Every structure is written in C-alpha cells, then in structure tokens.
A and B are shown apart, each in its own frame.
Chain A
Amino acid sequence: QSALAQPASVSGSPGQSITISCTGTNSDVGAYNFVSWFQQYPGKAPKLMIFDVSVRPSGVSNRFSGSKSGNTASLTISGLQAEDEADYFCSSYTGSDTLLFGGGTKLTVL
C-alpha cells in the first residue's frame, strides 16, 4: 500500500495561514473519518494535533484545524508562529484493517 500523498514542503510568514493536504483513496481517507495529524520536531516523538478529521485534543492550540473533502484531508494552521516550524504527518485508517501515514510535510516559517 502506498503512503498518503502530502506536499514535501510548505512555507508561510508569521501571522499567515497555511494548509497541508493529505490525499488518499476511497479505501482510506475517503471511506473513514479516522484521519489524524501529527507534528514532529527533529529528534522528538510525534505529537497528536488532530484526530477524527477535525477534533483537537485538549491542549492543542485552536490555530490548528482539520477538514476533509472526498479523498483529501487538510490541516490548516492559522496565525502562523515560529514554533509551528516542524514536520507534519497525516494518517488514515484503511479498509484493510491497517493504518497509512502520509510521507510528511516540512513546514518552514519564513
């Protein structure tokens, strides 16, 4: 199974909004609302930012939001801050009783 498709990199200036896409198929992203987003700093473990497409865990800034349309899920970060610079990964449950991750997107805050 191929990884979910994410852009390799995105960038934005402080205060701006950016969106990271995560494209799968009608067997994973399009079929289930079990899409999560993770933030990872270099040398650190991933951190859950969004689950079930659009739910924010307690303690995650409301600047982070998730959505889904068809086979594509999206993570939007509004009011970009320097601390948001990190790698972001999406994941989705699949119809084969497994989980797929996206290839990851490096966010650069200019």
Chain B
Amino acid sequence: QRQLVESGGGVVQPGRSLRLSCAASGFTLSSTGVHWVRQAPGKGLQFVAGMDYAGGTKTYYAEFAKGRITISRDASKNMVYLEMNSLRVEDTALYYCATDAKFFSFDLWGQGTVVTVSS
C-alpha cells in the first residue's frame, strides 16, 4: 500500500530553521514528482515547492519560498525533505507531502505535519 508520512514539524521561533521530512512506503519516491503543499489554520491550500518526476532534478517553488526554502530528495532513504530558513509567523501551517504520477496531479497525500512559528 502506497503511503506518505511527514515528520519534523513543531513549534519554532521566528527567524529559526526547520527541516521537514516525507517518507514513502510501498513505492519509490524517485519514480514520481514530489511536492509540498501547506494549509494555514482555516485557510486554503498553498503550493510550497516540488521536484520533477522520474528522478529529475528540476524544482519548482512558490514566490514566497524562493531563496528561503529548499526541497531535496534522498533516493537511498526514499525520503524527501523541505528545508525552511528564516521562518515567519505566516509560515504557520499544516505541511503536506504529495506525489504526482502525472505532472502536478497530486494523487497521493500524506496526513501532514504541523509547523507553528511563534515567539
């Protein structure tokens, strides 16, 4: 059974860094595109970052993420990471990991990990 499990969320002070992890089971992450989408409390979905499918190296970032957030993949561990620096209060959200077998069609989602940025 294909599954994604996110981890690494928590409470962090503004300006600090955090690394989120996304672990896959039942399939190989390098065979699909992998993306991060966040949802602030009571709000809608917001794309954060993504990596191309089939083991490609092309990355995609939301405007707010450029220069501050980095997505990476460790094929040997079947994991994807989201490194977030200079965190802001507005980064507070539930962060989902999602895969797409077809370009930007997020067909599998994890349950998310909560990031709270607060002093």
CA distance A100 to B47 in the complex (A): 7
B10 to chain A, nearest CB (A): 20
Q: A97-B60, A98-B60 are in contact. Are A46 and B44 (CB under 8 A)?
A: no
> How many angstroms from the CA of A104 to the CA of B102 in the assembled complex?
22
- A54-87 vs B, CB cutoff 8 Å, 1 = contact: the mask equals 0001000000000000000000000000000000
Chain A contacts of B37 at CB under 8 A?
46, 101
Collect the chain B residues with CB atoms within 8 Å of residue A45's CB: 96, 109-112
Contact A51–B45 (Cβ < 8 Å)? no
Contact of A99 among B44, B47, B107 (CB under 8 A): B47
Complex Cα–Cα for A46 and B117 (A)? 23
In whole angstroms, what is the CA distance A93 to B103 when docked?
9
Please tell me which one of the listed residues B44, B96, B103, B107 contacts residue A89 in the complex, with CB atoms under 8 A apart: B44
Q: Which of A90-108 contact B (CB under 8 A)?
A: 91, 93, 96-104
Number of interface residues of A (CB under 8 A): 25
Given A98-B47, A101-B47, A104-B45, CB of A46 within 8 Å of CB of B60: no
A2-27, CB under 8 A of B: which get 1 and which 0? Answer: 01000000000000000000000000
In the bound complex, do residue A48 and residue B60 qualify as a contact, i.e. CB atoms below 8 Å apart?
A: no
CB-based contact A38/B106 at 8 Å: yes
- Bound complex: CA of A1 vs CA of B106, how far in Å? 21
B63 at the interface (CB under 8 A from A): yes
Complex interface: chain A residues within 8 A of B103 (CB) = 34, 93
Q: Are A99 and B60 in contact (CB under 8 A)?
A: yes
Q: How far is the CA of A57 from the CA of B107 in the complex (A)?
A: 8
Interface residues of B, Cβ cutoff 8 Å to A = 35, 37, 44-47, 50, 60-63, 96, 102-107, 109-112
> Which 7 pairs of residues, A with B, have the shortest CB-CB distance?
A51-B105, A45-B109, A99-B47, A104-B44, A101-B45, A48-B107, A103-B44
Residues of A within 8 A of B (CB): 1, 3, 34, 36, 38, 40, 45-48, 51-52, 57, 89, 91, 93, 96-104
